[in-house]
Amino acid sequence: MHREADYTLKGFIYQFNKTLFEVLESSSNSNIMVEGIVEDIDVQMPTGTKAIQCKYHETKDSFKLSDISKPILQFLVHYSKNHLQNIQYILYAFFDGEPTGVKELTKDDIDSILNTKNKDFVVKYISKIKPPIEFRIQELLNKSKHTEEDKTQIFEYYNSENPPLIINVDDFLKKDKFSFEIGESFENLITNNKTKLSEELNNKDDVEDIFYPNAIQKIAELSIKHDENERLINKKSLLDNLARTKKTAITRWTRELLTYKSLLKRRREQLKDNLQINIRQRNFIIKDSCVENFDSEIVNFIIVFLNKYNCKPKLHSETPIFCFDISKTELVAEIEERLYSKGIEVQTGYRGNRFFQDAFLKEPQRLVKDNWVEFKLRLCNYNEDTVSALNSKKCDDLFIVSDIDYSDIDKKDLNEEFLQVNNFQELKYLLSINKSID
């Protein structure tokens, strides 16, 4: 299962790279829709649309028709409803042993795909391009959910009756309508994108650690937008955005890149200047599900952070806030208990069962000559009350260790550091607590 998950993630990264390639190759008056209305990538040009479906088969040396049946059937269904529009359907698929370039599909190949023995394909796709004549089958197809018995009846009908196609396969296979292209290797596609970014931005130094990972992250962000208009991007807007970017993206997508350790090193260097300042209000928002072994390692992380950045009452006069976005709210009290057993006093703002913002934000008493401070950190769960407290006392640095943006936090006039790391080892490395991530 782990290997399958790795291949799935790599498939997404491959698709994002193909999207980036299309953006960089596009003209100034073209828009690209990430996760398009038609296919994975819709290149919208004044003359028409290129609808690209992207597939990555790293473990297959050569392709079989069964490997491409589903995307071809999806194309045919869309074509049946939009054959008068100027749409070119492109299947861009990588197979490890196949040479790159256009691969011809014949009418016989399409006929073989149409004669699929896959019941789901018959129900979802064949029925759309070969509408049934029999009313009983029409009723079955109109059901919102299909039982296995429904699928069997539909399949048997198509196997015996074989109603006519409502599309012209010869027209679909014309070069201006359909193309099957064996794609570049994962590594070559990335190299091509980096070269193009370097040329477009006239900057070789920042391509590897800033421009390229941030371009992939930008496309990944667009891919999950619900509104189709928000998934549009063009070459100029992307390049302008990248030219203004100064921070290396550390996210769930960039950590899948081959150069992730290099990205961590560059991000660590970017964080150093502010971390070297003694008087600095540093707040954290950490989502437990985004960091491996959160429950078992969070206390140790807090302690080592305090030992480095909040250990001198005279020099370290700002008290950090650790805010946790967790479903198990009682875990905050457990963390407080575990910290106390380690000799760490905290402020939670609770008096009984009620949260008091003034108690949470009050300054700790300090006896500098005795190297003593009343409490070393503020601890809270992420909720409406604590968001209000965070917004009323603005920090200097906000470290977000999560996959969420937290738009209800007022980020005006503060330094936001978005660090979507795998584990606390990487976080400690980025914050210069550890010298390495090993």
Measure CA 26 to chain center.
23
pLDDT in the model for residue 99 = 94
pLDDT in the model for residue 5 = 43
Q: Which helix (H) or strand (E) holds 57?
A: strand 48-57
pLDDT in the model for residue 6 = 62
Angle at 138 between CA 136 and CA 142, to 5 degrees: 120
pLDDT in the model for residue 371 = 83
Cα(40)–Cα(185) distance, rounded to whole angstroms? 18
DSSP line for 173-217: TSTTTEEEEEPPPHHHHHHHHHHHHHHHHT-STTIIIIIHHHHHH
Q: Can you tell me which residue has the tokens 């290149």?
A: 43
pTM comes to 0.86
β-bridge mates for residue 355, sequence order:
350
Secondary structure percentages of the chain, helix, strand, coil, to 5: 45, 15, 35
DSSP line for 380-429: EE-SHHHHHHHHHS--SEEEEESS---TTS--TTSEEEEB--SSHHHHHH
Measure CA 5 to chain center.
14
Cα(285)–Cα(400) distance, rounded to whole angstroms? 5
pLDDT in the model for residue 7 = 63
CA distance readout (Å), 39 to 43, 141, 390: 10, 24, 42
Cα(201)–Cα(198) distance, rounded to whole angstroms? 5
CA distance readout (Å), 29 to 21, 51, 114, 229: 16, 17, 38, 16
Segments of the chain with pLDDT less than 70: 1-7
- The upper half-sphere exposure of residue 216, i.e. CA atoms within 13 Å in the direction of its Cβ, equals 31
Q: Are 44 and 79 in contact (CB under 8 A)?
A: no
List pLDDT tens digits, range 189-225. Answer: 999 999 999 999 999 999 999 999 999 999 999 999 9
Sign of the CA dihedral 324, 330, 333, 334?
Answer: negative
Q: Break the chain into its structural domains and give their ranges.
A: 2-114+166-240, 271-430
Q: Are 92 and 82 in contact (CB under 8 A)?
A: no
Query: Which residues, other chains included, contact 189 with Cβ-Cβ below 8 Å and sequence gap of 6+?
Result: 14, 17, 18, 21, 183
Q: Are 98 and 182 in contact (CB under 8 A)?
A: yes
By three-state DSSP, how is residue 374 classified?
coil
Q: Are 429 and 293 in contact (CB under 8 A)?
A: no
Pick one of 3.40.50, 2.40.50, 1.10.760, 3.30.2420 as the CATH number of 271-430: 3.40.50
Query: Which residues, other chains included, contact 195 with Cβ-Cβ below 8 Å and sequence gap of 6+?
Result: none
Cα(263)–Cα(87) distance, rounded to whole angstroms? 39
Q: Can you tell me which residue has the tokens 């963390």?
A: 335
Q: Which helix (H) or strand (E) holds 236?
A: helix 235-244
Measure CA 39 to chain center.
18
Angle at 92 between CA 12 and CA 4, to 5 degrees: 35
